[in-house]
Amino acid sequence: MGKLALPGQLGGLAEIATATSFWCESLLVEGIAVASVRLEVDAGGRISRVQPGVAPETTDTRLGTVLPGFGNAHSHAFHRALRGRTHGEGGDFWLWRESMYRIAAQLDPESYQALATAVFAEMLASGYTAVGEFHYLHHHRDGEPYVPAHAMELALASAARAVGIRLVLLDTVYLQGAIGRELAPNQRAFGDEGVAGWLARWKSLRSRLADNDLVTLGAAVHSVRAVTPDAMRNVFAGLPPEIPVHIHLSEQPQENADCEIEYGLTPAGLLDSIDALTPRLSVVHATHLSDDDRALLGFARVTVVMCPTTEADLGDGIGPALALAHSGSPIALGSDQNAVIDPFLEMRGLEMGERLASQKRGRFAPAELLTAASTAGYSALGLGRHRLQPGDPCDLVEISTTSVRTSGSLPEQLALTASASDVMRVFVGGRLVADSGQLIGGIRPAALMTDALQRLALRQAD
């Protein structure tokens, strides 16, 4: 891979000292503001002690109002290249997908790494401390594997390490273009030699990433469109049981119709028929569900990852998030196509969709919105508990409560008033990684993005 020239100096994170103790003027724990809280952090970046209602000690890093870091449970980093470039076309998801495929065809490991570095930088500066990257750009555009192996996956890992975000790489099985159809020419980069080929590649990749605590490997099935039930069964059987698995589900009515014609079942019903509905599974979107689908997902405690800004942008519809939560499904949030990177707008989108559909306010409580954006996202990504308790990762986000947007807000209601512009200091594993919109060292995410998009433009011109 060619040398990646970045503006400023990235890659110096290892030299940044990890704070060993914090004092928070106000810490929101499960959505409840607790005053004057000291946190001690162990050498592994995990919280070792929590003391509410105490005075700061001289060595503490002093913070204002602090939330648990946000967990972005669904992202396709490369879709960011389409931001602000598709609104003149009209159409629907399927037309947008053609534009997305054109970007996919232009990416190679170097340009993918540059773009992902910029996207992950924007996420960190916006308060996301962890991201699940739903990744299927595996190979050259003709389907030939890269040499050396895993070049695209390692490009994502390098991007995450360079900026300091936690990455769960959800390597995705994508074996057919639609139900009963081979991969189209513009989908060949996504495929593998059947489930056995995908599993072999997944296991090899896992060993390559084993020594990195910031980057872990999860798994995904693209959708019931892209993988047959038999193949899905083999995917679940072939993975270690602790590995989280994600899948796009019922984002479009067309997927439901095709699935019912071929299998006589809804996509959720099909997953149930192969015993795939378990708490390890997260379904993304779940926009067009029957009452039975909702009950199946909720009963099995399957997490539902809603992507409100993307679903609104693409005109997908409003998914039954509250009904799913009442059925038993944890609700997490994702930025998906990254037309917007702002955890506050995702929380607001979730609640406002419910209000518009029901003509009532207060559908999700502010504490529930914060849980969806942080704790539930971490859990869906296999990152364990994230409630700012001893043993939890010390991933923190400081929010300005004196900006023009947040001044006067109750701390518990910041989910409904703040924006990414109000994010101040961001810590991952106790280490400062961003402050007031910039990465440490004063590196601006916008500069990284400009550089990455120029690389893509040059490639388009070749």
Q: How far is the CB of 247 from Zn ion (least distance, A)?
A: 10
Q: How far is the CB of 333 from Zn ion (least distance, A)?
A: 13
Residue 123's closest CA among 390, 343, 279, 429?
343
Q: How far is the CB of 133 from Zn ion (least distance, A)?
A: 10
Asked if 45 contacts 393 with a C-beta cutoff of 8 angstroms, the reply is yes
| Per rule CB under 5 A, count of chain residues that contact Zn ion | 1
List Cα–Cα distances, 28 to 39, 64, 223, 330, 414, in angstroms.
13, 11, 36, 20, 10
Radius of gyration of the chain (CA): 21
Site pattern 383..412 for Zn ion (x: CB under 5 A): ------------------------------
Q: How far is the CB of 310 from Zn ion (least distance, A)?
A: 8
Task: Give 171 or 336: the residue with its C-beta nearer to Zn ion.
Answer: 336
Task: Give 159 or 220: the residue with its C-beta nearer to Zn ion.
Answer: 220
Task: Give 334 or 445: the residue with its C-beta nearer to Zn ion.
Answer: 334
Q: How far is the CB of 284 from Zn ion (least distance, A)?
A: 6
Task: Give 21 or 72: the residue with its C-beta nearer to Zn ion.
Answer: 72
Length of the chain: 462
Task: Give 293 or 336: the residue with its C-beta nearer to Zn ion.
Answer: 336
Residue whose CB is nearest to Zn ion in the complex, by number = 336
Q: How far is the CB of 349 from Zn ion (least distance, A)?
A: 16
Asked if 225 contacts 179 with a C-beta cutoff of 8 angstroms, the reply is yes
**DSSP of 317-376:** ----HHHHHHHT--EEE--BT-S---HHHHHHHHHHHHHHHHT-S-SS-HHHHHHHHTHH
Query: 297 by DSSP, 3-state: which?
Result: helix
**Residue 98 main-chain phi, psi, to 5 deg:** -65, -40
Distance between CA atoms of residues 279 and 184, nearest Å: 33
Site pattern 259..298 for Zn ion (x: CB under 5 A): ----------------------------------------
Q: Which of residues 308-337 bind Zn ion (CB under 5 A)?
A: 336
Q: How far is the CB of 74 from Zn ion (least distance, A)?
A: 6
Interacting residues of 367 by C-beta distance below 8 A, sequence separation 6+: 30, 31, 32, 412
Cα angle for residues 80, 81, 82 (degrees, 5° grid): 90
Q: Which of residues 330-369 bind Zn ion (CB under 5 A)?
A: 336
Q: How far is the CB of 417 from Zn ion (least distance, A)?
A: 28
Task: Give 289 or 428: the residue with its C-beta nearer to Zn ion.
Answer: 289
The torsion region of residue 250 among left (phi > 0), alpha (psi -120 to 50) and beta comes to: left
Site pattern 65..94 for Zn ion (x: CB under 5 A): ------------------------------
Task: Give 258 or 336: the residue with its C-beta nearer to Zn ion.
Answer: 336
Distance between CA atoms of residues 431 and 411, nearest Å: 24
Measured between alpha carbons, how far apart are the two ends of the chain, in Å? 18
Task: Give 336 or 422: the residue with its C-beta nearer to Zn ion.
Answer: 336
Q: How far is the CB of 134 from Zn ion (least distance, A)?
A: 5
Task: Give 65 or 287: the residue with its C-beta nearer to Zn ion.
Answer: 287
Residue with tokens 């939560």: 325
Residues binding Zn ion (CB under 5 A): 336
